[in-house]
Structure 1
Amino acid sequence: MKKWLIPVIIIAVVGFGLVSWYFGVKNGAIEVDQAVKKEWGNVETSYQRRNDLIGNLVKTVKGAADFEKSTLEAVINARAKATSITVDPTNITPEQLAQFNQAQSGLSSALSRLLVTVEKYPDLKVNQNFLKLQDELASTENQILTARTRFNESIEKYNNYVLRVPRKFVLSEYKEKEAFKAVEGAEKPVEVEFDFDNKPQ
Structure 2
Amino acid sequence: MKDQIATALEDVSPSIARAVRAEGTTATSVDAAALGDWQVVDVLSREGAHPQRWFMGVKGEGSEVVVLSGFPERWSRVAEGAQVTSADQAVELATVRADATRDMTKGYTRIEAVDDIRFLPKPSPEQTDRIAAITRDHDVAPAKATGQGPWEVRLWTVTDGDLVRHDVRVATDGSITDTPEVVERDLPVPVAR
The TM-score with structure 1 as length reference comes to: 0.28
Larger relative helix fraction: 1
Give the structure, 1 or 2, with the largest relative contact order (CA under 8 Å, sep 6 or more). Answer: 1
Larger relative strand fraction: 2
The TM-score with structure 2 as length reference comes to: 0.29
Asked which structure has the greater CA Rg, the reply is 1
